[in-house]
Amino acid sequence: MAAGDQGYANIRGFINSSRGIINTNQPSIQSMMKYEFKGSKKSNSSYNYVNSIPNLVLSYILFKYGDADFKQLLDDVFQKKVRIKDEIFLNKNVFAKKDEQSLFHQFYTTRYDYLRIAKAMLDDWQNDTCVGKYLKTIHERRISKNGLQGNKGRVGMPRGYGGFFHTGFKGMKNRPVMSMDGFGGQTIAIDFERGRIVATLAIHDNMQFPKSGSFNYNKISYQVIKNGKPASILPAKEKLTAEPVIDPQQLILDYKARKETEREAKQYWDNYYTKVFSGDWGASADGSTIFIEDFENTDKRKVRVKVINNDDNGKNKWYIKQDNDGNSVYCNKSNSGWSDFNFGSEHWSDYSISYKMKFSADKFGMLETHIRKKHHYQYKASINSSGRSVEWSKIQLIASGKNINFLIDDKVFASSKNNRIKKGAGMIAVSPFSEVCVDDIVVKKVSTKNK
């Protein structure tokens, strides 16, 4: 983490991307070099925690070894040496193309196999093997974090870094203690000198203990490592066998069994959500229509959309009013922020959103339709107001496989092909100081056959 790239990226992401990309894990290594690092020059080698660095290292190893030998390397390390029980896997970067050799650093395996990896590292250190000598070398060459990650919690207490491991813990500066820190609070600390391993398993950790959403890493892990006595029985030096402790064929059979279990679970939940849609969202019995909201009879039921934020006065930005013909429509109040509402489920995949909308007279602005929205990712289409009085228009946005189509009054206005975002809910958003009314929102499943 001292590549001299601090002028181009840091822990928050790319500093200046010509494509507007922030997350360093999204683009492939090839495209990142073409755009974000084009013409770059190395700065001084100081600690700069950037996720793209391990992505670069992994992708370079894959490039040098080739696909077959890279897989053999993984087999040699994890099956024959570590002797894992279950499979491991890596992913490609989010935006990496099929033919790009670009690996994402997140590494998946079971908690027990993670402990087996840590135990193998501890054995190598104490048996002074080739790997053990490497671990001792990166510990000796560790660099200071210079306080860039604070001085508390999982990544603040270790004040040094070496070989993608946190080390140099507060109060244990020269003791060979190294830790791996994973997503959401999954950590493993290895005390090579005293022969101890402490792991934490968490769904999430905001590193703000004692606030909610965090755990006491100081008590659970740090204090145990710092004050723990040497293990009563240190492992004796032994000749490590190269034979795996499992049958590779059995591993394949277990994998197929798990995939079948996952397939059955997916079918169960697909059926479950179809029932939920039919019961709560006005869907049709056959599942072809999965959501309807016409804003009628809301005195007897809740509105099926969820408003995200209130207006400048702390009140709901959206309200139901009667149109000229007595029909109920959903309108926003002009305010200094965006007026948004969500609807549907993040489990939706191939579907169309259709609804009617009209801008208020003499109001300039923009309306956006979002489809497959999940967290900060989605496909969206926009329509602008010229400030003139506008009649009702029919808007439709369709996501079918990799095909995305935007229609206005049944005419294709724009289309694209993209399959990076496969599931997500819907959203309608109105720009600041605009006024829009919408009605008759209908979401239907669409077929991906021949798409």
pLDDT in tens, 53-96: 999 999 999 999 999 999 999 999 999 999 998 888 888 888 88
- Residues forming beta bridges with residue 353, ordered by sequence position: 397, 443
- Determine the pLDDT at residue 198: 94
What pTM value is reported for the model? 0.56
Is residue 372 exposed (0-12), middle (13-18) or buried (19+ Cβ within 10 Å)? buried
Helix (H) or strand (E) holding 107: strand 103-108
Domain ranges of the chain: 1-107, 110-235, 247-280, 289-445
pLDDT of residue 451: 46
Residue 79: phi and psi, rounded to 5, are -80, -50
Between CA 175 and CA 436 the distance in angstroms is 64
Among 303, 277, 331, 307, smallest CA distance to 439 is for 331
Please write the tens of the pLDDT for every residue from 27-54: 899 999 998 898 999 999 999 999 899 9
Measure the CA–CA gap between 94 and 318, rounded to whole angstroms.
35
Q: What is the mean pLDDT of the chain?
A: 87
Q: Which of 200, 201, 220 is nearest to 210 (CA)?
A: 220
- The answer to whether 207 and 241 have CB atoms below 8 angstroms apart is no
Q: Residue 199 forms beta bridges with which residues?
A: 188
What's the topology of domain 289-445?
Jelly Rolls (2.60.120)
Contacts of 179 (CB under 8 A, 6+ apart): 154, 158, 165, 166, 167, 169, 187, 188, 189, 190
Q: What is the pLDDT of residue 377?
A: 84
Beta bridge pairs of residue 427: 342, 370
Q: How many helices (H) and strands (E) does the chain have?
A: 9, 23
Residues paired with 355 in a beta bridge: 395
Confidence (pLDDT) at 360:
86
Instruction: Record the tokens describing residue 100, joined without a space.
Output: 């790009």
> Positive or negative CA dihedral for 299, 359, 349, 25?
negative
Residue 47, CA atoms < 13 Å, CB-side half-sphere: 17
| 310: DSSP letter | B
**pLDDT digit string (tens) for 268-306?**
766 665 555 445 688 887 778 999 999 998 888 889 999
Nearest Cα residue to 100 out of 37, 38, 28: 28
Q: To the nearest 10°, the Cα dihedral for 40, 41, 43, 49?
A: 30
d(CA 429, CA 103): 35
The rounded distance, in Å, linking the Cα atoms of 159 and 50 is 17
* For residue 210, cis peptide bond before it (omega within 30 degrees of 0): yes
At 450, the pLDDT band (50, 70, 90 cuts) reads: very low
